[in-house]
Structure 1
Amino acid sequence: MELKKELHEILEKPNTHKYGMFVQVIIYINIFVSILVLFLETEESLQPYKNMFDMINMISIIIFTVEYISRLYSINYLNNRKRLRYMFTPFMIIDLLVLLPFYLSFLNIDLAFLRTLRILRIFKLFRLAKFIEFDNILAQIVTEKKEEFIFILIASVIILFTIAPLVFYFEHDVQPMVFKSMLDSLWWSIVTFTTVGYGDMYPITGMGRILATFLGVFGIAFYAIPGSILTSAFLDKMNHKKHDRQEKNSREKNSDEE
């Protein structure tokens, strides 16, 4: 039980344990090193160092594995939280995906998509306390403003599915190899609405260009609206948090004086 307590505090509440931050620094250095090696080992001029890279990857995986097992072992220290349920939390799924490519290689499974999963190690940085706090605030904002976001999403879909067939009808006869179907037109509408505009497809008729102009303007507007809602709500949350912190410090100061 004492070991569970120590591991739980080190991994879940590092600020409360004397070795917590030290272990966290090791974990984050390991993440950065493993990501760096992931890029370096693809460089042809560095192939003579392949054995060294393999050794670093092995050490990295050992650290990740010890961390993963330790989290599973210690999670029910304070309560009866089920380990199986904990395994399916977002962070633990990421941790598992980080480990899978290595252990599946022992089964002669070495598919390219498994190797690319190694890049998911970077997402482990979201375990930082500040990121977790930000995620909580973001989740609260999305919950509180869900009606606004849903309205914007529905309006965007309506605009896309209205303009796409119109552009198809105006452009298909003129550019039959470009706007071959409404699905192609929908793809063009999406990249135009999102202001990506690859340039591989574009209307050449007068009405097509007018619709493209409207779609581009709508796209900019519909990006700005949710952005302003999110920013405003986030600043409001941060101000409330700052105000609550000041009140707490003030109460603690008054309590000490008494």
Structure 2
Amino acid sequence: MNYIHFFDKYLRPFFGLLIVLNLIHQVFSSGTTIIDFPLFENFYKISMLLFVVELCLRFYLERKLTFLSTLDAIVLINYYFVGILDFRMLRLFRAYSSFSNHEILLPSNILIKTVYKQRYALLGSQIMVVSVLLVFSTLIHFLEKDVYPEAFGSILSSMWYGITTLTTVGGGITPVTSLGKLLASLTMFLGIGIFALPVAILASAYYEEIQKRNFLISLETISSIPLFEKLPVGAIGKINSKLQAALLPAGKKIITKGDNADAMYIIEFGSVKVELSDPITLGPGDYFGERGLLKNEVRNASITSAQEVKLLKLKKEDLLELISEHAHLFEELSAVSETRSG
């Protein structure tokens, strides 16, 4: 039995839901007497006990201490041995991780990945912000320190005004000298441009990621796949309505050996690793999972994404329907499946 697969498929969603319920419990029990009810108190205790079991299972399966596991341990150690504060809200990150593959969280996942990919560009833009802040704070300090020492008596105190000026939110402090007012006005306009820079970086990169993950499969994309290139336009249009796109990160288990075969997959971009005695790697245009469908067998090999991969999924019933209408598909699929196990 593949325990990791079982944990990911059944236990991870369960613990994710339990975390969400605990966070709701924490919110409603803060400052109220709801926690005094036996039902809610017992729910809290049982949940923490189950979280201990979850943490032990994760250590056993993952064999390493991750960032999320560290947060989990902090929450549990605090509950059982310290009891200073209720740290359950830290498990929000674990809940997010538990449901990270759900379609609802897809935009958030893309945004997080975009921020990570553009981290150096974003860091560079923030260095620019800090540099402008230091220059402005120094200049406004020299101009205003004698006439308004309470607000501009030092560069550090001037930085507060610099921050409110760059962000154009205002802070109740106004320069006294004409040069100080002119400098502040110019800095306000500069602040608009500076803070628009990281927004532009993120917006552009986010759009590219969205386009990359566009789940609307074009007819051109389908017709370029070797398996379907000989089909008439009408058949390609029919396939278009049946294929389902999925974007998976590197290291994601796609097929587990011994599972029932319910679909085949076509690689649009990226690559996957077929875990055989002599492992093989499949790339764009290749397909896998057809053997189990054609021979009505369970999966005879596990397949994992070698890098970020976009797959086009074709369900068993849809494939059989296509084969009944286009016999050459069966011949081609059978020929390929005989050359490898997949």
Q: Which has the higher contact order (CA 8 A, sep 6+)?
A: 1
Cα pair 1:94 1:120 within 8 Å, conserved = yes
**90 and 201 in structure 1: CA distance in 2 versus 1, 3 angstrom threshold:** farther
Instruction: Give the strand-richer structure, 1 or 2.
Output: 2
**53 and 184 in structure 1: CA distance in 2 versus 1, 3 angstrom threshold:** farther
Match of 2:61 among 71, 74, 77: 74
1:9 aligns with 2:5: yes
Q: How does 1:124-139 map to 2 (within 5 A)?
A: 124-127=94-97, 128-130=99-101, 133-134=109-110, 137-138=113-114
When the two structures are superposed, what TM-score results if normalisation uses the length of structure 1? 0.71
Match of 1:43 among 31, 34, 50: 31
When the two structures are superposed, what TM-score results if normalisation uses the length of structure 2? 0.55
> Aligned-residue CA RMSD in angstroms?
3.2
Separation in structure 2 between the aligned mates of residue 239 and residue 215 of structure 1, nearest angstrom? 36
1:62 aligns with 2:49: yes
Match of 1:234 among 206, 215, 222: 206
Secondary structure of 2:150's aligned partner: coil
Match of 2:184 in 1: 212
Please list the CA deviations of residues 50-80 of structure 1 after superposition, one character each: whole Å capped at 9, or x if unmatched: 65543332122122222211111112xxxxx
Match of 1:120 among 90, 96, 105: 90
Cα pair 2:166 2:188 within 8 Å, conserved = yes
Instruction: Give the helix-richer structure, 1 or 2.
Output: 1
TM-aligned CA deviation for residue 142 of structure 1: 1.8
Match of 1:163 in 2: 136
TM-aligned CA deviation for residue 140 of structure 1: 5.8
Secondary structure of 1:233's aligned partner: helix
Amino acid at match of 1:187: W
**225 and 59 in structure 1: CA distance in 2 versus 1, 3 angstrom threshold:** same
Match of 1:203 in 2: 175
TM-aligned CA deviation for residue 188 of structure 1: 2.6
Q: How does 1:162-181 map to 2 (within 5 A)?
A: 162-181=135-154
Please list the CA deviations of residues 193-217 of structure 1 after superposition, one character each: whole Å capped at 9, or x if unmatched: 24454x2544343333332223332
TM-aligned CA deviation for residue 162 of structure 1: 0.4
Q: Which has the larger radius of gyration?
A: 2
Amino acid at match of 1:90: F
Amino acid at match of 1:166: L
Match of 2:20 in 1: 32
Cα pair 2:138 2:158 within 8 Å, conserved = yes
Separation in structure 2 between the aligned mates of residue 49 and residue 56 of structure 1, nearest angstrom? 11
Amino acid at match of 1:10: F
Cα pair 1:41 1:50 within 8 Å, conserved = no
**135 and 58 in structure 1: CA distance in 2 versus 1, 3 angstrom threshold:** farther
**138 and 94 in structure 1: CA distance in 2 versus 1, 3 angstrom threshold:** farther
Amino acid at match of 2:6: I
Match of 2:277 in 1: none
TM-aligned CA deviation for residue 160 of structure 1: 0.9
Match of 1:102 in 2: 79
**209 and 10 in structure 1: CA distance in 2 versus 1, 3 angstrom threshold:** farther
